[in-house]
Structures are given as C-alpha cells and as structure tokens.
Structure 1
Amino acid sequence: MIKVLVIDDDFMVAKVHSGFVNSEPGFSVVGVAHSAAQALKSVAELAPDLVLLDIYLPDGNGLDLLQKLRDIHPELDVIVISAAREMDTVRKALRGGIIHYLMKPFSREDLRERLEHYKKTYRGLGDDAEHELDQSDVNRLLGLGTQQRKPLPKGCSAETLGLVEGILRSSDDALSATETAEKLGTSRVSARRYLEYLADEGLVQVNLKYGGVGRPERLYGWSAS
C-alpha cells in the first residue's frame, strides 16, 4: 500500500483530495497537514511514500518546504497540486525533483492518471538497489514512450468519463450502453459515446452478444491493466 500525506491549507480541499486518493486501489491517505509546520511533523512521524503538496501555505511556500521534507525523509516522492501557474514556480518545482505538477482546478480523472503513472513507474520498479534497468524502464520513469489519450469528443467531459470508468471497473460483468446509462443517469446515446471512446483507447474490450432480431448488442468490459 502506498502511503500518502495530503498537504493543503484549505480543509475542504484537503478532504476532497483525500477522498480521491483513498478511492484509488493501492493508495491510502495516512495523514493531512494544513501548514508547513504540520507537514514537517507529519512526515517525520508517518514516513509517507508520497506527498500531495500545495504551494500556498499559511506559514511558508510549499517549494521551500519541499527540500526540508526531503531532509527528513530522503526517499519521499512529491506531486505538487496548486493554483500557481507562473513559469518560474513550475520551473522551480520541476528542478526540485517532483513527480507531477497538477494545476487546480482539476478533475478526479486528472489526479487518477497521475497516481496510476506513479504506481506503475516509480513504485513499479521495486526497491532492489542492485536491480539493473533497461532503457524501457528509464523511459517509463521519464514519461517517454507513453501514449497520450486523444481529446474527448465534443460535449463530453473528463468528470463523466471518470464516472464511466468507475462503473466499468467495479462491474464483474461486461455492460451494455443501456446498462451503463442506467447506472450513470444519462441517455444511452451519451453513455455509448464514452464507451466507444474508451474502446478506441484500448481501455475496454468490446464483445458482441447475438440473439433476437437486429444488430448484435455491444458489451463493454474493463480491460486496462
């Protein structure tokens, strides 16, 4: 289980982010800090694997805090989550060795993608210091050779796409567009657009169910690793 510490001065935002993280398999929020002082204490006591770090804190700047956290826990990984958009701020964060920089506001799917990338790359390579890597391992760490998703169809949203993915992930059986629409609370046509998008991206497997009159029914099952 990957232990996560959420650092954000806004109590409600920290609660929402914690809920996002806890909903992802393999992740668990072990603590929340609302100031730099609390963050330093929490890292020392909890030894998290990953920190979600806000830049604007009441008693300091998150990027200045970054190195102090690493002094306490050198193996700490950091994802910056902030409304800061200045080039100098982003540059400083990247030079500080962060994993990702996610700008507020963002969708649940945005955060999920970053967490999945972290789990599959930084945590997926193991802890054996003597283990030799090949070029593909290094490429994954640097984010190279990873296929980016194509833009969503017009009228579709990342938030709804995340809900559709959640429905498919939690279902033991493949679902039709009608069944997905019922769970989603939307029209069959709308649900099918999202399902076909995921199929095109290779994230779901489509099977045809024959029977009755007319075209076979398309069933969608989650197949992403």
Structure 2
Amino acid sequence: MTAEQVPIRTLVVDDDFRVARIHAASIERVAGFTCVGEAHTAREARDLIATTDPDLLVLDIYLPDEDGLSLLRSLTGTGSAPDCIFITAARDLDSVRAAMGLGAMYYLVKPFGFATLKDKLDSYRRWRTEVENVRPDSEADQATVDMLYDLLRGSDSSSTKPRLLPPTMAKVFHAVQVADEPLDATAIANDLGVSRPTVQRYLSDLHRRGVLELVLEYGTAGRPKNRYRPAHLEPR
C-alpha cells in the first residue's frame, strides 16, 4: 500500500454513545478515512490517543469530565496533537473563537447531514495530501499558502479553474497540456518523479472536471491503456 492509499486514522470523541457510533459509521463511508476508535469522555480520549495515534479527532465540546476545548488545549501543549474537527451543539461565539484559536480545522454545529461531514472530510483530505507532498525543507510562497487555505475552505471543487489547482495536480495537468500525444499515468509519474497512484488520481479528477479527455488505447491483449489529452473545455 502506498502512502497515498493509507487512510486517515480518525478518533471520534462524543459523550453520546449513539451519536459517536453514527459519526464513526459516517467516517467509514468516506474514502480515505478509517475510524480507529470511539471515546465518550476526555479520559477515554487521552487513553485512545496514546494507543491508536490518530491523525484526526472528531471532537465534541460537551464531555462529562472535561470540555473538548480544554482537552484539545492540553493536547496542543504537548506539541503532538492530532488535527481536529469539532462536531458539537455549542453555538456560542466564545466556543467558536476558542476552537479557531486552537487550530481546529472545522466547526460543525449539530444537527447536520452526512453530505456536510463528507464535504469537510474530503476538503481536509485534499489539504493533507498537498501538505504531505511539500518537501519539509521547502519554503511556501504566497500562492502555495493561499492554495492550502483554499483547500480547507473547500475551494478545490468542481468549479475550480486549472490555474487554481493544487501544485501537484497543476503539474500533471501541464504535462498533458504540453505533450505532443496523449499520456498515461506511468509516463507522467516518471517525468515528474511522483508516484503513479497519485498521478492517476489527479488524472481521473481532471477528467471528471472535464478539462482532460480519456483516450483508450487497445493493445493485442488485456485491458486498454488509459491515456489523456486536453479537452479544451472549462471544468464542470
């Protein structure tokens, strides 16, 4: 399994057992995520964080032994806190501001539908993928910083123009644009030094948006090879 295929390990923390189970089941329905546990108190959350090492917390504010804001604050003080999405019935602005100050990715107010949660998780996954693709010793210019914030705001949607694509996807798109003939994922991956699964995922997304056309090349045997060329159309 490649790094791009490793699911984002998510821990659900909610005092309501039924609600926690619903959140966990919803997370399992979203591609690229897996739920590693459910906690119903801050103490349980700390124990599970220590044993499961989650990437992401889906955290309620109202917990029986300690509020979620205090829990996250104590975790950030250690310097190794997971990312966090608050899902809560707390609507007061003080809680919202505190969550933002603690670096929460999103703040979802109950109740909401599965589509809302999926949209936030998908945006978080795209943001995380781009962050992990940046070399640790590299510096981010303003365009890269803006792009990362746009991903969290959900700007990397079907209406995104090619010039606003995330950096790696933009390189894939450019490779197809300047090529003299349709390209497949292997050729682009070798040229860019990026893994083939990453390239294929971006090609499929660009094809879905309508900016690339899929060309099926049939050989003498086996499945046809997928090649791509510019569609010369605005993304859908």
TM-score normalized by structure 1?
0.62
Q: Distance in 1 between matches of 2:30 and 2:123?
A: 12
What SS class does the counterpart of residue 28 from structure 1 fall into?
A: strand
Deviation at 1:98, TM superposition (A): 0.5
CA contact (8 A) 1:43 1:73 kept: no
Which residue number corresponds to residue 113 of structure 2?
Answer: 107
Deviation at 1:123, TM superposition (A): 3.5
Which residue number corresponds to residue 27 of structure 1?
Answer: 33
1:18 corresponds to which letter in structure 2? A
Q: Distance in 1 between matches of 2:208 and 2:118?
A: 14
Structure 1 ranges of 4+ moved more than 3 A: 147-150, 202-205
Equivalent pairs, count: 156
Asked whether 1:4 is paired with 2:13, we answer no
Q: What are the residue-to-residue correspondences of 1:155-166 with 2, within 5 Å?
A: none
Q: Distance in 1 between matches of 2:80 and 2:46?
A: 13
Asked whether 1:146 is paired with 2:152, we answer no
Q: Distance in 2 between matches of 1:61 and 1:75?
A: 16
- Aligned-pair Cα RMSD in Å: 2.8
Among candidates 89, 114, 117, match of residue 123 of structure 2: 117
Q: 1:145 to 1:61 in 2, by over 3 A?
A: closer
2:155 corresponds to which letter in structure 1? T
Identity rate of aligned residues, in percent? 38
Which residue number corresponds to residue 77 of structure 1?
Answer: 83
Which residue number corresponds to residue 137 of structure 1?
Answer: 144
Q: Distance in 1 between matches of 2:107 and 2:137?
A: 30
TM-score normalized by structure 2?
0.59
Asked whether 1:67 is paired with 2:106, we answer no
Q: Distance in 2 between matches of 1:149 and 1:86?
A: 33
After superposition, what is the alpha-carbon deviation per residue over 1:65-109, rounded to whole angstroms, capped at 9, x for unaligned? 002223456151000000100011101110111100011001101
What SS class does the counterpart of residue 91 from structure 1 fall into?
A: helix
CA contact (8 A) 2:11 2:37 kept: yes
Which residue number corresponds to residue 166 of structure 2?
Answer: none
Q: 1:120 to 1:145 in 2, by over 3 A?
A: closer
Deviation at 1:11, TM superposition (A): 0.5
Q: 1:73 to 1:32 in 2, by over 3 A?
A: farther
Deviation at 1:138, TM superposition (A): 1.2
Deviates more, 1:32-41 or 1:69-78: 69-78
More helix by share: 2
Q: 1:149 to 1:134 in 2, by over 3 A?
A: same
Q: Which runs of 5+ in 1 are unaligned?
A: 151-201, 206-223
Q: 1:69 to 1:123 in 2, by over 3 A?
A: farther
What SS class does the counterpart of residue 132 from structure 2 fall into?
A: coil
Q: Distance in 1 between matches of 2:131 and 2:106?
A: 18
Deviation at 1:133, TM superposition (A): 2.8
